[in-house]
Amino acid sequence: DTGVSQDPRHKITKRGQNVTFRCDPISEHNRLYWYRQTLGQGPEFLTYFQNEAQLEKSRLLSDRFSAERPKGSFSTLEIQRTEQGDSAMYLCASSLVVASYGYTFGSGTRLTVV
């Protein structure tokens, strides 16, 4: 297992287009998280899955954002009708149910909306 994988690494899209990102967590991790990081800031929580259930969504996650984790394995994050303010690094992390082992992050997807 090579850790948390995210695809693509970079995405440039025109305003108004839809984009989808993928995250493959560490296989034995039940929990999966999406965070967003803008330049010069720390990551901010977007949403969280335990297995296939989405258990919490941040107010940052507007109606244009949707996340899924079918079958409790990989997850996708879709942004519809992208806006320039969506430009950011989107980070995925996974963890065991026992939080004491900490989080493992992926390399992120850098989104640029032009």
Partner 1 sequence: KQEVTQIPAALSVPEGENLVLNCSFTDSAIYNLQWFRQDPGKGLTSLLLIQSSQREQTSGRLNASLDKSSGRSTLYIAASQPGDSATYLCAFLQLAGGTSYGKLTFGQGTILTVHP
29, 96 contact by CB (below 8 A): yes
Comparison of 45 and 74: residue with beta carbon closer to partner 1: 45
74 scored as a contact of partner 1 (CB under 8 A): no
Half-sphere CA count of 27, side-chain side, radius 13 A: 2
Q: What is the distance between the alpha carbons of residues 72 and 29, in angstroms, rounded to a whole number?
A: 10
Work out whether 110 is an interface residue with partner 1 (CB under 8 A): yes
Based on CB atoms, which residue is closest to partner 1, 47 or 82? Answer: 47
CB 4 within 8 A of CB 25: yes
> What residues make contact with partner 1 under the rule CB under 8 A?
4, 6, 31, 33, 35, 40-45, 48, 50, 55-56, 89, 91, 93, 97-108, 110
